[in-house]
Structure 1
Amino acid sequence: MTTTAKDHLESWNTKIALAEELVPQIGKLYRENDVVLSVYGASLVGQSPIEIVRSHRAVRHIEDAELPLAQTAAVVKALTELNPAPVSLDIAKVLREVGTGDVTEYLRKEISNANAATGNGTDVVLYGFGRIGRLLARILIDHTGSGRGLNLRAVVVRKASENDLEKRANLLRRDSVHGPFNGVISIDAENDVIIANGVRIQVIYSNDPATVDYEQYGIKDAIVVDNTGRWRDAEGLSQHLQSKGVARVLLTAPGKGDLKNVVYGINHDVITDDDKIISAASCTTNAITPVLKIVNDAYGVTQGHVETVHSYTNDQNLIDNFHKGDRRGRGAALNMVITETGAAKAVAKALPEFAGKLSGSAIRVPTPDVSLAILNLQLEKDITREEINSLLQEVSLTGELRSQINYVESPEIVSTDFVGERRAGIVDGLATQVSGKTAILYVWYDNEFGYSSQVVRVIEKMAGNHPAHIPAK
C-alpha cells in the first residue's frame, strides 16, 4: 500500500503530539525528583518535542526500528507513580531489558536498589568566568533540578569596570559560538548577584584566591573550579584551600607535578575523598583518551602520533603582536599556527599503558571552536576499516564510554556541526583509513562545550552525588 503525503503528515503530527505530552512530565520528574531520562545516552530533559522525536528515531541505528513514543510514555507514567529518588534512567535500555515483562515491577526493583543522592547538594564556585567558566555555568544551571545535586553558588573574578556585573551577565546571556542562554537572566546590582533560571550566583570580586571568605555568603564545603589556568600545580592551587568555605579544588587544565589528571570515563575511579586538588586534564586529552582505550583494548597500540587541528583560543593574539610563546604572537584569525601540545604525554597520566607510545603536535587554525584530532596508530595485528568502525560505533551507542564517544558517518559533516556536542570526542567513520596494522582515525571535539561536559562529570564524582544509573550498565 502506497503512503500519501497526507499519511506522512498525519504520522508526523501524531508523534509530535505524543512528544508534547511527554515534555512537561519529563520536566516535572527532573525538577521534583532529579530523574534524568535519556534514550541511548541522548538526554530528554529540556528537549523540544522535535528533539524528543529525533532521539526516538535514532534508535533505528541500534535496533533497526524507531523507539515508539508510546513505550516511553508508559515508562514515564510508571516513574511518576513510583515517585523515585534521583536516578539517571535510559528508557531504551530499560525497555530492552524488560522485554515482554512488567516495566513497573522492573523499575520498582531497580529504584529500590539504586544508591540515590541525598541531602542538600554540593556548593560549587567558579574561579574565573572566561570561555570554560561561562559554559560550566550554563551546564550547572541546566543541571540544578531540585537542588540536591551540584549548586552553582558563586563566581570569582577581578573587577574590570564600574558596570562589571552587567557585562558578566551579558556574556553569560549571549555567546557568539554557542548562542543565547536558554532561559532568563537578571541582576541584583546592589548585592552583586546574577540570577539565572532561578539560580542565585554571587559575584565575588577578588585578586587573591587565599583570602575570599565564602562562608559569609552561606557557602560551605565548596568545590572551587579554577578555570583561569593561572596556577597548575598543587602549591599554587592550594591557595584556594586557605579560604573559608572551600573543601576541594578542580583545575580545568592539565595539572603539573603529582596532581591527578582525570579523564572522566577512563580513570575517574582514582579520585578519593582524600584528594583535595585534582585536574580535569585538557580538552584534547579528554577527546582522544577514550578512543585510544577502546582501540588499545581491542587491538593493542604499539606506537602512535596525534596531530591536533585546534581552533584558536584566547591565549593567541588577534593580530600580530608580542607573545612569549613561539608563533602564537601572529594573528590567530589569519593564520594556521604550528604549536605544541602536551596531550600525547598527558594520555599516559590517565592510561599508563600509553607511556612512551605517543608523540604529538598541533596546528591552531582560524576557527573559534571545534577541533580535530588525527590519530595515526600502529597496532599489534592486522584489522579492517569496517572492523574498527563497527567497534567504535557500537561503543558510542551501548558501551560504557557512550557518554564520552560519539560516532558519525556523513559525507557532509564539518566542524560547525559539532558545536554544543556534549560528548568528549566524535569519531568520523567515513574518514577512517586502515592498512594492515596501521589505523588513522579522525576524532572531532568541541574543545569548549564537550570538555566542559566532562569537567561537570568530574565535579559530580568529587561531590559524590552522581546519580545512580538504571540499568547499571
Structure 2
Amino acid sequence: MKLRLAINGFGRIGRMLVRAYLANHDYFKDLEIIAINDIAEAQTLLHLLKFDSTHGRLQANVHLYENQLIIQKNNQTLCQILLLNQPNPQQLIWHQLDIDVVLECTGHFRSYNDANLHRLSGAKQVIIGSAPFDMVDASVVVGVNDDTLSRTLPIISGVSCTTQALVPLLNTLHQTFGIDSVMMTEVHAVTADQTVLDQAHRDLRRGRASGQNIIPTTSSSINASIRVLPFLNGKLSGHSIRVPTVNVACIDVTAVFTHTPTLNDVSNLLKTTSQTTLRGIMDYTDEPLVSSDFIGDTHSLIIDGSQLMQAGNQFKILAWYDNEVGYANRLLDMCLVLAKR
C-alpha cells in the first residue's frame, strides 16, 4: 500500500513538495499526496502552484474541481488532492482520510506539542519540515541517519535545508580525517519571514529590507547538526548571512582535522563519496558556476571543487544547494523510507 501523505502549509516548501513529487512521479510511486491544508483560498493556491517566479510554470495541467486539486500529465491524472482550509490542526480530519504522515510545512507548528496536534487529529506520524523548537523523536538527515526512521516514531524533524547539506559533508570528513573544529557560514537567499521594507521583527536585523541589505542572523543548522552528530558538540559554530537573492544557498565551511590531509586528499574523498555512498545526496563540480546555476538541483549539496582551499592546517570547503528543491526532495525521500518499513 502507498504511504498516504498530507501537507500542512502550502508555502515555498509545501509547493515544492508537490512539484518534486510530480517531477519524479515514478520514483515516488509508493507515496500518495491525499490532502493539503492552507488558510489561503483555493484559487490562490492553484495559481501559486501553476506559476512560480523562481522555478517557472508547472509542467503539468492543473485545475480545481469542487474542493480538489486535479493534476494531469500526458492525459493521465497523477493527483487528486483534497484542499482544506483549517487554521487549527486539531480540527483537521486526518482520521477520516487515513493519513499516515503529515508534512508540517507552515513554519509555525514546530514544537513537539504543536506538531502532535496532527496526531490528535488522526495522523499516524508528523514530519516537521524545519528544525524543531524543542524535542522530537528523531532528527533525520538523509544519507547519514535515515536508517533510524521507523513507523513507530510519532514526531520527526527533517531539520533544515542547511542541515541536510552540512551534516553529510561533516560526517564524511570526520569519518576519514577526524574533525577538531568547524566554523560554518551559511549564505542564504531571502525567506518568507523577511520583509520588503523595514518593519518590526523578533530579529532586528531580519526586520530590515531584504532586497537591499546583506543581513547576518543565526542559523538553526548549528544545533540541529549537533543533534544528528553529537561528536560536533563544542566543535561546531557558525551563523547565517541572508542575501538579496530568491533561491539557492551555500555553506562556507572552515575545518581543522585531527589527521591533517592534503588538499588533494579532501578533493578526492568528496569526489569519490559523491559518486558512491552519497550518490544522489552529494554532487561535485569543478565548473566556475554561480548560485542561479543550481536552481532546480535535487541534491542536498554540491561541492564546488574550484573553491577548495588550504591555509596551514585549515581547510575551506564551499557547497551549494537549492534550499527549496533539494530540501523538498529530502522530505519525500524520508517518506519513501517510511513507506518501505
Scaled by the length of structure 2, what TM-score is found? 0.94
Match of 2:49 among 128, 148, 172: 172
Matched residue, 1:225: 103
Matched residue, 2:325: 449
- Cα displacement (A) at 1:393: 0.9
Alpha-carbon distance in 2 for matches of 1:227, 1:400:
29
Q: Report the 3-state secondary structure (helix = DSSP H, G, I; strand = E; otherwise coil) of the residue aligned with 2:91.
A: coil
Please give the residue correspondences for 1:196-235 in structure 2 after superposition, counting only pairs within 5 Å.
196-197=71-72, 198=77, 199-216=79-96, 219-235=97-113
Matched residue, 1:406: 283
Q: Report the 3-state secondary structure (helix = DSSP H, G, I; strand = E; otherwise coil) of the residue aligned with 1:390.
A: helix
Q: Report the 3-state secondary structure (helix = DSSP H, G, I; strand = E; otherwise coil) of the residue aligned with 2:198.
A: coil
C-alpha offsets along residues 69-96 of structure 1, whole Å, 9 cap, x if unaligned?
xxxxxxxxxxxxxxxxxxxxxxxxxxxx
- Cα displacement (A) at 1:215: 4.8
Match of 1:248 among 125, 130, 133: 125
Name the CA shift for 1:146/1:302 in 2 (closer, same or farther; >3 Å).
closer
Matched residue type, 1:138? R
Matched residue, 1:331: 209
Instruction: Name stretches of at least 5 consecutive residues in structure 2 with no aligned partner.
Output: none
Please give the residue correspondences for 1:252-271 in structure 2 after superposition, counting only pairs within 5 Å.
252-259=129-136, 260-271=138-149
Maintained 8 Å contact 1:312/1:364 = yes
- Cα displacement (A) at 1:221: 3.7
Matched residue type, 1:458? M
- Cα displacement (A) at 1:143: 4.2
Name the CA shift for 1:433/1:167 in 2 (closer, same or farther; >3 Å).
same
Maintained 8 Å contact 2:21/2:28 = no
Match of 1:310 among 179, 188, 194: 188
Matched residue, 1:149: 30
Alpha-carbon distance in 2 for matches of 1:131, 1:281:
16
Matched residue, 2:175: 297
Alpha-carbon distance in 1 for matches of 2:87, 2:133:
23
Maintained 8 Å contact 1:312/1:366 = yes
Looking at CA atoms only, which structure, 1 or 2, has the larger radius of gyration? 1
Matched residue, 2:245: 367
Matched residue type, 1:213? I
Name the CA shift for 1:145/1:334 in 2 (closer, same or farther; >3 Å).
same
- Cα displacement (A) at 1:435: 3.0
Name the CA shift for 1:273/1:123 in 2 (closer, same or farther; >3 Å).
closer
CA RMSD of aligned residues (A): 1.6
Matched residue, 1:195: 70
Structure number having the greater strand percentage: 2
- Cα displacement (A) at 1:272: 2.3
Answer with 418-427 or 263-272: which moved more: 263-272
- Cα displacement (A) at 1:382: 2.5
Matched residue type, 1:170? H
Q: Report the 3-state secondary structure (helix = DSSP H, G, I; strand = E; otherwise coil) of the residue aligned with 1:168.
A: helix
Alpha-carbon distance in 2 for matches of 1:342, 1:146:
30
Maintained 8 Å contact 1:380/1:437 = no
Alpha-carbon distance in 1 for matches of 2:109, 2:38:
15
- Cα displacement (A) at 1:421: 0.7
Scaled by the length of structure 1, what TM-score is found? 0.69
- Cα displacement (A) at 1:308: 0.8
Structure number having the greater helix percentage: 1
Maintained 8 Å contact 2:94/2:118 = no
Matched residue, 2:16: 135
Answer with 438-447 or 206-215: which moved more: 206-215
- Cα displacement (A) at 1:200: 0.3
Matched residue type, 2:146? H
- Among all aligned residue pairs of Structure 1 and Structure 2, give the percentage whose two residues are the same amino acid: 29
Matched residue, 1:21: none
Alpha-carbon distance in 2 for matches of 1:444, 1:141:
24
Matched residue, 1:380: 258
Maintained 8 Å contact 2:182/2:254 = yes
Q: Report the 3-state secondary structure (helix = DSSP H, G, I; strand = E; otherwise coil) of the residue aligned with 1:210.
A: helix
Alpha-carbon distance in 1 for matches of 2:23, 2:95:
25
Matched residue type, 2:17? L
- Cα displacement (A) at 1:255: 1.7
Name the CA shift for 1:123/1:144 in 2 (closer, same or farther; >3 Å).
farther
Matched residue, 2:292: 416
Q: Report the 3-state secondary structure (helix = DSSP H, G, I; strand = E; otherwise coil) of the residue aligned with 2:44.
A: helix
C-alpha offsets along residues 385-412 of structure 1, whole Å, 9 cap, x if unaligned?
2221111111111x2111211110013x
- Cα displacement (A) at 1:148: 5.2
Alpha-carbon distance in 2 for matches of 1:435, 1:427:
19
C-alpha offsets along residues 34-70 of structure 1, whole Å, 9 cap, x if unaligned?
xxxxxxxxxxxxxxxxxxxxxxxxxxxxxxxxxxxxx
Matched residue type, 2:71? A
Alpha-carbon distance in 2 for matches of 1:338, 1:464:
41
- Cα displacement (A) at 1:147: 8.5
Name the CA shift for 1:257/1:175 in 2 (closer, same or farther; >3 Å).
same
Instruction: Name stretches of at least 5 consecutive residues in structure 1 with no aligned partner.
Output: 1-118, 466-473
